[in-house]
Amino acid sequence: MARRALPARPGPGPVRPDRPDTPPPVIRIRRLTKSYGHGDATVHALRGPDDPATGGPLGVDLDIEQGDFVAVMGSSGSGKSTLMNILGCLDVPTGGRYLLDGIDVGHLDEGQLALVRNRKIGFVFQSFNLVPRTTALAQVELPLAYAGVRAAERRRRALAALSLVGLAERSGHRPNELSGGQQQRVAVARALVTAPAMLLADEPTGNLDSRSTEEVLGLIDGLNATGRTVVLITHEDEVARHAKRVLRLVDGMIVSDLRQAPVDGPPPALHRAGVPA
Amino acid sequence: MILWQTLRFAAGGLVANKVRSALTMLGVLIGVASVILLLAVGNGSSVAVKESITSLGTNSLTVTSGSSFGGARSASSAKKLTVADAKALATEADPHAVRSVAPVVTAAGTALNGDISYSPGSIVGTYPAYFETANQKVEHGEYFTQDDVLASRKVAVLGATTAKQLFATADPVGRQIVVGGTPFTVVGVLRAKGGTGFTDPDDVLVAPLPTVQNAFTGFGSVNQIMVQAASADSTAQAQSEITRILLGTHAIADPTKADFRISSQTSLLSARESTTKTFTVLLGAVAAISLLVGGIGITNIMLVTVTERTREIGIRKALGAPRGVILGQFLTEATLLSVVGAGLGVLAGIAGSHFRIVGIEPVVIPESVLGAFGIAVAIGLFFGSYPANRAASLRPIDALRHE
């Protein structure tokens, strides 16, 4: 497997409040549109405001700072999943530019996109999406294996990630031997094991009971507190309360952008719990 | 690292669907085993033909009179073969082409051993060279000699069947029998050749030529002249030598009007051998088709597997699996299926070739084992590459959404 290098970028270390110049945003999208179908049947999943001159969609603009914790809210069909898929390089936009960590994703070929997904993005899905019949340890090792990390190093890092989510003693269990909450924690461990620039979570608590929800959100809060950028999609206000910034999408347009806490601080949930920054 | 990992993933994928994998392998197994076995059966029958050629004497040629089958012998224009012709062949032929010449007369008669009476299939009068030319070996006792021929002694060598009929289990050597009123001393018994056709080659009585001519046929023509070529390769050369000399002795200018025929065992049997070759090719073709069907089975199963595991492919792609890794995983699975199936097929084919099949002892062709195995693996790769390619080119978002 040929390994291709991506353009260099500053390390993902914790954001210091005293930093004089603001780092480049992890995500910068400009006039991003996504439509399905052709002609009259065209559906604009992402459209942004209408262009006053032509009446056509202008596209969505969005910047997400490093270390931010953004919740994207909206009803089903509002385009939030489309946004998430494009942010995760799983889908390609119809129009507009998407810069992830300073790299224009639109110019990458399939192999480079695989590399971007592997190195820069950690996914947490609503339906866990663990590989069937594979032990928790092997699940977490998987992204490292695709990155070409050596077996011993892979094992060490995977075990470290599993103990971070409190599942070190369950490393030999298969998905069908784990509860939903445990499965999602394995998924979180898998998402963070490559130390990605951004954690993308698509309704991570949608299939979980309230206790598991708290556990998983607590993990995500913790990750954000150590400087990891988090983009989380949800339709529950309870979950959105954990974010520093809440975006609301309606019909493919960002209708509100509310900041609940500063970027350079702990996530609001930890702040409320009195954990020092 | 990646190779080992891919192999582990592939093996895991196969083990997850044991019954399905086993049935797919069975398809390849049957294909490979039938290729090996059917080619072995075809080869076995051609080996059997070759053995019967050697038992008849590979380099023997038989000269008979007559220009064609049927009436030629009775036609007055056709000159009969004589002992003089045989002598001409023995003295004039190139010794590099012709090793020995034996004129043969055949007669019918009844042999008596005391009060046991038996009529051998044929009573042959000839020279000692006959034994080697016709590949007749004495098992017990000895051949009659050139001296016996010159002295026209009344000695006889019995074929195995004749000996058994006349003497049962007793030793015939040295005993007296009476054939057509003439007493003969038995000097040897031929080794049994076993029947390969309608006539039993062991049902004979062989005696010196002048003795038989004196007692039965008279000193006229001979029935045939058996010529032994110097080697199996020189039969063609021997044949042209015989034609040249006999055209001379019979004073015929036009070779197309020859009044004698030369037939070689080899030419008769090579025709039979080419028939068995056609047979082998036909069997091989049938087997190859079953191998192909096994390959299509692999495609089918891999397509099902890819469809079934589309979501898993999506997950892997979301985690950053490059196209090559996904392609490699499914190709490895298909190859594993075909390698294991073909390996088992080789074992089954070789095991099956230890049994007699429709009266033929199968003889495994080593190349067919390697070939069938190689082709099966290649088929696995070829037919596996389509589903694997389909898996690898799935868009991650489509794969993830697949239910």
pLDDT digits (tens, 9 = 90+) for B120-132: 888 999 988 888 8
CA angle A38, A43, A44 (to 5 degrees): 115
Q: What pLDDT score was predicted for residue A5?
A: 54
Q: Bridge-partner residues for B112, per DSSP?
A: B117, B178
Contact status of A119 with chain B (Cβ, < 8 Å): yes
ipTM score of complex: 0.84
Question: B322 contacts in A (CB within 8 Å)?
Answer: 1, 111, 114-115, 146
Where are the domains positioned within chain A?
27-33+44-272
A246: Cα separation from own chain's centroid: 14
**B215-235 pLDDT per residue, tens:** 888 888 888 888 888 877 787
CB proximity list for B71: less than 8 A, separation 6 or greater:
none
User: Smallest Cβ distance to B322: which of A111, A129, A131?
Assistant: A111
Residue among B116, B90, B93 nearest B102 (CA): B90
Count Cα atoms within 13 angstroms, Cβ side, for B47. 12
Contact status of A112 with chain B (Cβ, < 8 Å): no
User: Smallest Cβ distance to B320: which of A114, A129, A131?
Assistant: A114
Question: A129 contacts in B (CB within 8 Å)?
Answer: 311, 314-315, 318, 400
Q: What topology is assigned to A27-33+44-272 in CATH? A: Rossmann fold (3.40.50)
Q: Looking at chain A from residue 41 to 60, which residues have their Cβ under 8 Å from any Cβ of chain B?
A: none
Tokens of A103: 């790299």
For residue B313, the chain A residue with the least C-alpha distance is A131
Q: What pLDDT score was predicted for residue B75?
A: 45
For residue A112, the chain B residue with the least C-alpha distance is B322
* Contact (Cβ atoms closer than 8 angstroms) between residue A249 and residue A72: yes
Residue among A222, A229, A227 nearest A269 (CA): A222
Contact status of B308 with chain A (Cβ, < 8 Å): no
Where are the domains positioned within chain B?
2-52+271-401, 79-258
**B355-377 pLDDT per residue, tens:** 887 777 888 888 888 988 888 88
* Contact (Cβ atoms closer than 8 angstroms) between residue A148 and residue A189: no
Contact status of A111 with chain B (Cβ, < 8 Å): yes
**B67-90 pLDDT per residue, tens:** 544 444 444 456 788 888 888 888
CB proximity list for B179: less than 8 A, separation 6 or greater:
B109, B110, B111, B112, B123, B156, B205, B207, B215
Per-residue pLDDT tens listing for chain A (277 residues): 445 555 544 444 444 444 445 677 889 999 999 988 888 888 888 888 888 888 778 889 999 999 999 999 988 888 888 898 899 998 889 889 999 988 899 888 888 999 999 999 999 998 889 988 888 999 999 999 888 888 899 999 999 999 999 999 999 999 999 999 999 999 999 999 999 989 999 999 988 898 999 989 999 999 999 889 999 999 888 899 999 999 999 988 999 999 998 888 888 887 666 554 4
**A154-199 pLDDT per residue, tens:** 999 999 999 999 999 999 999 999 999 999 999 999 999 999 989 9
Q: Looking at chain A from residue 132 to 151, which residues have their Cβ under 8 Å from any Cβ of chain B?
A: 132-134, 142-143, 145-148, 150-151
Question: B395 contacts in A (CB within 8 Å)?
Answer: 90-91
Tokens of A43: 């559906």
Contact status of B137 with chain A (Cβ, < 8 Å): no
Q: Do A146 and B1 touch (CB under 8 A)?
A: no
A265 min Cα distance to partner chain B (Å): 29
Q: What pLDDT score was predicted for residue A19?
A: 47
Rounded Cα distance between A189 and A68, Å, is: 20
Alpha helices in chain A (DSSP H): 80-87, 110-120, 136-146, 151-164, 180-192, 210-225, 237-240, 268-272
